[in-house]
Amino acid sequence: MRRRRFLRGVGGGLGTAAGVAVGGRASTRRVAAHPGPYEPYGSIDVEGAKEAVVDPDGDVAYLATTTGYATVDVSAPDRPELLADVRDPLSDREDGPLRGIFDAKLDAADPTTFVVAGPANPRRGAISGILVVDVSDPARPEEVAFHATEFPVHNCFVRDGLAYLTGNDGGRNPIVIVDLGTGTEVGRWSVTDVADAWAAVPSGLRSVHDVYVAGDTAFVALWDAGTWLLDVSDPADPTVRGRVDVPDPEPLADLSESAVRRRATLPPGNHHYVATDESGTLLGVGRESWGRRIEDDATATPAADVAANDSGPTPGTAAPVSAAPDAEFVGGPSGIDLWDVSDPAAPVPLSTIPAPATPDPTYGGVWTTAHNFELSGGVLYSSWYRGGVKRHDVSDPGAPEELSWWRDPEAASFWSARLAAPGERDGFFVASSWGVDDVPAGLYTFPDHAGEQADPPGVLPSGTATPRPRYDTATVTPERSEPTTAPEPGVDGGISAPGFGVAAAVGGVALATWRLLRRAEKRE
């Protein structure tokens, strides 16, 4: 049996039966920063934990939990306490319950409104959309509305009563803006609106994976189509303000199936997650990728496709790594790029924070590539799956400085990192883990101060940030979830999670078919 998590939390997931666990609020006392080695303040098991967000007071964390959602009192970070664990929401509906819940967000302007999105990926015959929940009392969440969609909802952002949804439909793959009060669509935007050439690109290479809104600008991560900056001052008519690492679409449209598959796994990685600091001028772009054994890559990819798909290494990306002296790889995990977007029309690359090294960078190996993060107060809080969680000082974004790093690859695979309360003395951040093997998923709390982990795993040497020269185009990589037994990426014909680009790059027809079936079922 694998080594269990060294800290066990109180409470835990309540299984898959519908229900709510209700508890009282813990003390608001915060622990002082502990001396000695850097380590978590505490942790709590929450079955199926995925994305986590925190209320502005830093007292309650809200989690998407795959089959539902949960609230956790973190006001005493060394003693996190489960407040509510809701499973199988909308189970009373004919096509319910809502499943595949990987993302959930608080309204950035109204933290009493919580939006639960799903399914993250297509599920034939399943309900899809966003569930609006009143969390005025986080121990007793009240579901107030559900707005159905014709597409799965992998990720979302919520602000001022508007939900910005990833609308991957296997065709245009738009961002869809929905009014939470009425459920009506306010507006939408697709890269295919910009130029006809984008419509010829396989839909999986221009899947909209995530969206972040700062001020009146929406930052949209579009896999191999780069990151697009949209003016959403009029949500009914989003327009392009700028673009980051957006390539020429015509070469993408000409790729063979084998080249698409290769592009979907190797660095420099897809545009997977985006977020800005408080000013909206420092943008982080998280990419996600893996490696391939050289012999597998040579066998699977004709030389002509490699030549057509490779334009040389991208500055700031991870170098190839090896799992053993007799195992050599191409590619590897990707990191987080920092950009100055004070002029949206002319973004400037500043630096790249590389991913931790891994003993096995393949899709079926040990994942250490970038996942979700937050920029706040001049600090980057980042998650790297089994590569752990990190804090970087990015007050000088051209030269980020690693402040702390904690990892336990046998017990935790981190999905997100979110600041709860700033400050070296009593501040902390939370990080959700979706578990490893027999170690359950859950939520960790970490100090918001610098420090070094005692006896860290030696298989993950520390990376250092590297200056990043400006470049105009890049090849990027779609992303998949870490399976128990990993198939060859892209061969199952479906779309998986947390991202779905690997299979979607060659499985757009399957998604379009799912969409048509959903419409037919609703008509029936």
| Chain segment 133-150, per-residue pLDDT in tens | 999 999 999 999 999 999
How many other β-carbons are positioned within 10 Å of the β-carbon of residue 112?
A: 13
**pLDDT value at residue 299:** 59
Distance CA 390, CA 412 (A): 14
Q: Tokens for 103, please give them.
A: 């993302």
Going by C-alpha positions, the residue among 162, 303, 301 that lies closest to residue 235 is 162
Neighbours of 13 (CB within 10 A): 23
Question: How many residues are recorded in the chain?
Answer: 524
Task: Identify the DSSP state of 12.
Answer: -
Q: How far is CA 27 from CA 78, 80, 224, 277, in A?
A: 11, 10, 47, 30
Structure-token pair, residue 366: 């040990």
Q: What is the mean pLDDT of the chain?
A: 81
The least confident of 206-220, 252-266, 451-465 is: 451-465
Evaluate if residue 21 carries a pLDDT over 70.
Answer: no
**28-32, 102-106, 266-270: least confidently modelled range:** 28-32
Cα 188 to Cα 14, 76, 193, 239: the distances in Å are: 38, 41, 10, 10
Q: Does pLDDT of 96 surpass 50? A: yes
- The rounded distance, in Å, linking the Cα atoms of 474 and 40 is 37
Q: How many CB atoms lie within 10 A of CB 19?
A: 14
Q: What is the pLDDT of residue 260?
A: 81
Longest dimension (CA), the chain: 64
Q: What is the pLDDT of residue 261?
A: 79
First to last CA, the chain: 49
pLDDT of residue 248: 93
- Strand, helix or coil at 324? strand
The model's pLDDT over 282-333, given as tens digits with 9 standing for 90+, comes to: 999 999 988 988 877 665 554 444 433 443 333 333 333 334 434 588 888 9
**pLDDT for position 258:** 85
